[in-house]
Amino acid sequence: EEDVVYILIVTPQGKIFVHTFPGPVPSGLIDSGLLRNRRSYGIKKIPYGKDFIFDIACPIQESRLGTLHLGLSGEPMVERVNHTMGDISTIVAAILILGAVIAVLLSRFISRPILEFIKVTKAVSRGDLEQKAVAKTGDELEDLATSLNEMTQQIKAARTRLDDARDYVSNI
């Protein structure tokens, strides 16, 4: 793999046991404290020429046999992370847009019956008792439409009784 810059094993005494460099281990890596025996896993960012390396240290049998170091080139890894972050940003933007569209549609779905109710109540207040509220939502809005229609019918019936009583009184 081209991202792997080196593999080396450091003995518990801090000596290089084996490595994959074609020549000696570069002095910059030795100066970075790479040869210290590690008792736990770790990742260290090490300058390496114009680039940098992620040195991943892994103790072998709890450091009794030494530490395995895997050096990965930093630039391809950063490019992959940036690419992934771009993908994640695109997904988040798509989710936000989808959420906004759903919110608008949901608000219209909820507000449409309420706007209808307002129209009916205004017509009833002007005396038009033939208006009917319609909401086939199967929830409280449908219950409200039914109640509004019943109220309108009761007002219409009361008005009819009142007109009948007025006609009766005027004919006496």
pLDDT digits 0-9 by tens, 18-74: 999 888 887 767 666 666 656 678 888 888 777 888 888 888 888 788 889 899 888
| Alpha-carbon dihedral angle through residues 48, 54, 55, 57, given to the nearest 10 degrees | 170
- Quick: pLDDT tens for 69-106: 899 888 888 888 899 999 999 999 999 999 999 999 99
Burial 121-160 (b: 16+ CB within 10 A, else e): eeebeeeebebebebeeeeebeebbeebbeebeeeeeeee
Do 46 and 32 meet the contact criterion of CB atoms below 8 Å apart? Answer: yes
Give the C-alpha separation, 105 to 103, whole Å: 6
